[in-house]
Chain A
Amino acid sequence: MIASAERRRLAGQGLTLAGLLLLACLASLLWGAGDVGAERALAVLAGHGDEEARFVVGTLRGSRTLVGLAVGMALGVAGALLQAVSRNPLAEPGLLGVSAGAAFAVAIALLLGTSAATLRVGVAQLGALLGCLCVLGVARFRGLGNDPVRLVLAGAAFTGLLSALTTLLLLFDQRAADEIRFWVVGSLSGRRLEDLLAVLPSLAVAAAITLVIARPLAALALGERLAAGLGHHPGRVRLLVILVVALLVGGATAIAGPIAFVGLVVPFAARALAGPDIRRSLWLCLLLGPLMVIIADVISRRLVAPSELPLGVLTALCGAPVLIAVVRRRRLPML
């Protein structure tokens, strides 16, 4: 049971983060790469404002912010779940090749001539599932999973291979290449509300499953035997987690392209704030994920205005130092 003082502390953290997230969303609406500045955008928010500003703020930046919220939540939670189930603080969907699997699957689908948005989501999720199973299968094979750092190395090799294959596929087909080139680097620019709606059902399913498995997952952190002794089924829980991670990462990748390091930084920060219990850190991930993605997105719009920076660049710039910091510790924290 969570003590009441701790409950209050957790609520305080949650409220602070929610406030920060609100500010980030506001910033995302106010600043962009175009020439609609903060004053014109504020006028729109106050209820008046000219036609152009209303379109830019309401349609372009609004849907972009919503997409950022969804992508951030999905990636943050997926990272936390993947780390918990592999008991590895470095397990991150982008680093382990899950996102690359989704991107590769989408590239194949585009090459075969599909371009419907809903189909792309399904395909990306299937690719993510296969990538997830590959990496975690390898991890159980020959004890690779016992060494968190070696698992990351295998994931990096897997990612490198898949992205080379994706590039190769794009060379075959110029039409697919044009369609996918800006998607494959990971970005939120030009994403519409319809893209988000196509993903929402699967994200909802993933959220529902997560609520059910949070408790068994926390028990699994005590060890497989203990979890079984408490009446949970470790095998079943693990399978469900993989399914959820595939749904979340595949969905996020289908909208925004492969974005690495969010799933590493967010659970890392959440654990630092809330402690190792996944039932608590998951809630913070839900706030921290969108916070990171939206702030990175705002910076990516402002840094090289009037052009834009791929979002993946910024997440890598702030994520890689965290990776190095985790690796440098004398003892890796086992989850």
Chain B
Amino acid sequence: MSLLVQSSSSRLGRTRPEDAVASPRGTRRLAWRGLSILLDRRTLRANLLLLALVLAASLAYLCLGEQILSPADVLAALQGTGDDLSTFVVDALRLPRLGAALATGAAFALAGCLMQTLAANRLATPGIIGIDNGATAFAVASVVGLGVGLAPPAMALAGAATATALTFGLALGGGTQGYRFIVAGIGVGAVFGALTNLLLARVAIDVANAAYPWTVGSLSARPAGAVWTLAVGLAIGLPVAMALGRSLSLMGFSESVARSLGTRLGRRRAQVLSTSVVLTGLAVAVAGPVGMVGLLGPELARHLASKRSVPVLASALSGALIMVLADLAGRLMLSPLEIPVGIVTAVVGGPWLLWILIRPRSHGVA
């Protein structure tokens, strides 16, 4: 609260006569000719903080491991002037994996934030309502050779879309509000989880073993093509989600209020839903179901960023941060053994999910 008062007084101190349109408290209006944009100071600060943390975590990710490198070595290797060993470790081993961690984390958290806003329920993340499991089942089908000749990303997209259609279709009577929608999603997720096991049981044991770390969520078996597909998807999805930001905050109001303020609610919902589903499918194709990031990322973002709007960018940054830290912990904790990142996030996210359920005032988003 004190933060708001302070920033508003500083704004008043700097008011100039030509500032015809007053910006709301705690925000800053940047104008250029006819265009103007409102920057929320708290959100801006949160995003900068998260960006700094992501960079620091990334550096730590590149330094630490079985082969410990100094930051200077890593920077030299990145510029192409390091020695052979550090260049190999950084460029060939850690950098691609770091890229995959950043991209999947951002995609999962962004998809989670969008889905939570759409359903007006902070528990309605793609991981919980079964979309991750649907994408996994279809992608596994493609990996074990039952796909109709489609690459894992395409199959994962199809799976995510199928699971979403099932969950939303089955919950049609009750709407997306409330917990029944989520339990219907849990049921859909259970069916797809069983289908994944069914597929794995049908193939040779070495194929199944190769697919196993991927079914619990791991970055060690990432297909290279899938990472680039995800990067492209994220490059499109993130600006789209940020452009949808205003409609997203309106979705927090009742339907009639949002409509009367001029939102084309049906179209916006379809856009939000499809962005979320595409991001989830592409991310699952890389790392498997690491759905907890979709819950934890937006939670962290909501704590840091302003409550005024839906923290789209902050969610993506938080997700990337959480994914990098979780995978780093998974690599280091039992080294040389590797804990799949899906297990790390589940161990951290499970208690958090229970806490959200148990504590009072847990209905709705924030």
Contact residues of A between 136 and 194, Cβ < 8 Å to B: 138, 141-142, 144, 147, 149-150, 152-154, 156-158, 160-161, 164-165, 167-168, 171-172, 185
The verdict on A313 contacting B201 (CB below 8 Å), with A161-B346, A328-B174 known, is yes
A156 touches B198 (CB 8 A): no
Contact A149 B123 (CB under 8 A): no
Tell which of B18-26, B28-36, B226-234, B353-361 binds the partner: B353-361
Interface locus among B83-91, B143-151, B177-185: B177-185
**Contact between B347 and A165, CB atoms less than 8 A apart:** yes
> Which of A68-76, A285-293, A302-310 lies at the interface with chain B?
A302-310
A313-B197 contact in complex given A168-B339, A323-B183, A324-B170, C-beta closer than 8 Å: yes
CA distance A21 to B201 in the complex (A): 27
Residue A15 interfacial (CB < 8 Å): no
Q: Take A168-B347, A330-B173 as given contacts and tell me if A304 and B187 are in contact as well, using a CB distance cutoff of 8 Å.
A: no
Residue in chain A with minimal CB distance to B337:
A171
Closest to B353 in A: A157
Q: How far is the CB of A138 from chain B (nearest CB, A)?
A: 6
- For chain A, residues 291 to 325, give those with C-beta under 8 angstroms from any C-beta of chain B: 303-304, 307-310, 312-314, 316-317, 319-321, 323-324
Nearest-CB residue, chain A, relative to B198? A313
- A316 and chain B: residue at smallest CB distance: B194
Closest to B340 in A: A167
Contact B201 A153 (CB under 8 A): no
Pick from A144, A154, A314, A327: contact of B184, CB below 8 A: A327
- Residue pair B190, A157 in contact (C-beta under 8 Å): no
Most buried by B among A142, A153, A165, A310: A153
The reply to whether B191 and A316 form a contact with Cβ atoms under 8 Å apart is yes
Contact flags B164-175 to A (C-beta < 8 A → 1, else 0): 000000110110
Given contacts A138-B358, A313-B201, contact A153 B187 (CB under 8 A): no
CB-nearest residue of chain A to B360: A142
Contact: B170 with A328, CB < 8 Å? yes
B134 to chain A, nearest CB (A): 13
- Which residues 244-273 of A sit at the B interface, judged by CB distance below 8 A? 260-261
Q: B201–A310 contact, CB under 8 A?
A: yes
Decide: A149 and B180 in contact? CB cutoff 8 A: yes
Shortest CB distance A18–B (Å)? 29
| B147 shortest CB reach to chain A, Å | 18
CB–CB A153/B188 < 8 A:
no
The complex places the Cα of A171 from the Cα of B336 at a distance, in Å, of: 11
Give bound CA distance, A160 to B130, whole Å: 13
Contact of B202 with A by CB under 8 A: yes
Shortest C-beta distance, A153 to chain B (Å), equals 6
Q: Is B350 an interface residue (CB 8 A)?
A: yes
Is B350 a contact of A160 with CB atoms below 8 Å?
yes
A-B contact pairs, 25 of them (CB 8 A): A149-B179, A150-B179, A150-B357, A152-B183, A152-B186, A153-B123, A153-B179, A161-B346, A167-B343, A168-B347, A172-B334, A309-B197, A313-B197, A313-B198, A313-B201, A314-B194, A316-B190, A316-B191, A319-B190, A320-B191, A323-B190, A327-B180, A328-B170, A328-B171, A328-B184
> Which 10 pairs show the lowest CB-CB distances between chains A and B?
A161-B350, A164-B346, A316-B194, A324-B187, A320-B190, A149-B179, A157-B353, A320-B187, A323-B187, A313-B194
Q: List 7 additional contacts besides A153-B123, A324-B184, A328-B173; criterion CB under 8 Å.
A: A149-B183, A161-B347, A310-B197, A316-B194, A320-B188, A321-B187, A328-B184
